[in-house]
Amino acid sequence: MTLQQNYWAVVPAAGVGKRMGAEIPKQYLEISGKPVLQHTLERLLAFPLLQKIVVALSPTDPYWPELPVSSDPRIAVVAGGRERADSVLAGLLGLAGIAADGDWVLVHDAARPCLRESDLHTLVKTLAKDAVGGILALPSHDTLKKVEAGKIVQTLNRSAIWRALTPQMFRYQLLRDALSQALERGIEITDEASAVEACGFTPKVVEGRSDNIKITRPEDLALAAFFLEHP
């Protein structure tokens, strides 16, 4: 395979974020005067290697046009699906005809607004010559317990456990095919790496920063605001 060095991004943003308990999707909640998704896309747009960002939105999303970044010519919009994997695949299909098979695609969570450019450079540099790709991740520093019916049944070896972050970066055709096949086979897909793994590949892990948090619960908004205000 000829290794290309073109970079694209896909941002699945069709979710509603039920755990936030908010009236609007979490990607439109404000942090430091801007919606979460505005912060996230600004971070990606500032990365000079990215040629285009495809954002997968709910077909009934009324909030997107209000974002200043929505008019940026480097951003394209597609209709997302019910699950994350459906939205990511829709984003990948939105790159058909412009992304080469061996190009890189970075998939990044809409609700991770604290991404640092240093992490992007580290990810790109580490995976530059890899045939598959990999993900940003963090080694676990906590003691991990396997729990069933509210009771601990096992203490896991944390030395082998990493927490997956985003972006997750893979070759365009490989990721598109992996997601398509996993969805057709009914495999549970929790992130892009899990689809790639289901096809027999072994993605690499690249250690990222601990402040690359995902907005999941209300208390995460204040923490994200702190990180954004203290680079």
Q: What is the CATH number of the domain that holds 44?
A: 3.90.550.10
pLDDT above 50 (res 1): no
CA distance 211 to 96: 33
pLDDT confidence of residue 68 = 96
Instruction: Give domain status of residue 157, yes or no.
Output: no
202: amino acid identity, one letter: T
Number of C-alpha atoms within 13 angstroms, CB side, residue 151? 2
| Whole-number percent of the chain with pLDDT over 70 | 96
Residue 221 belongs to some domain of the structure:
yes
Task: Please give the structure tokens belonging to residue 58.
Answer: 């709910």
pLDDT, mean of residues 59-86: 96
Split into its structural domains, the chain has a count of 1
The answer to whether 164 and 227 have CB atoms below 8 angstroms apart is no
Q: Are 214 and 109 within 8 A, CB to CB?
A: yes
* 13 found inside a domain: yes
In this predicted structure, the answer to whether residue 148 has a pLDDT above a threshold of 70 is yes
Question: Quick one: DSSP state of residue 127?
Answer: H
How far, in Å, CA of 89 to CA of 189, rounded? 12
- Report yes or no: 206 and 212 within 8 Å, Cβ to Cβ: no
Residue 211: which domain range?
Answer: 7-133+165-229
CA atoms within 13 A on the CB side of 103: 22
The answer to whether position 143 is within a domain reads no
144 domain-assigned? no
The predicted model gives 205-216 an average pLDDT of 97
Least confident residue range of 3-17, 123-137, 152-166, 198-212: 3-17
pTM of the model: 0.93
My answer on whether omega of the bond before 167 falls inside 30° of 0, hence cis, is: yes
What is the rounded CA–CA span in Å between residue 176 and residue 116?
26
The type of residue at 188 is E
Indicate whether 99 belongs to any domain. yes
Q: Write down the mean pLDDT value for the chain.
A: 94
Residue 2 lies in a domain: no
Task: Tell me the pLDDT band of 2, cut-offs 50, 70 and 90.
Answer: very low
Contact in structure between 12 and 56 (CB atoms under 8 Å): yes
Other beta carbons within 10 angstroms of residue 177's beta carbon come to 16
Query: Residue 127 is encoded by which pair of tokens?
Result: 């995976």
Q: Please indicate, yes or no, if residue 67 is contained in any of the structural domains.
A: yes
Closest CA to 36 of 165, 227, 164: 227
Residue 135 and residue 11: Cα distance in Å, rounded?
A: 15
Per mean pLDDT, which range of 12-21, 78-87, 146-155, 199-208 is the poorest? 12-21
DSSP states of 166-222: EEEEEEHHHHHHHHHHHHHHT---SSHHHHHHHTT---EEEE--TT-----STHHHH
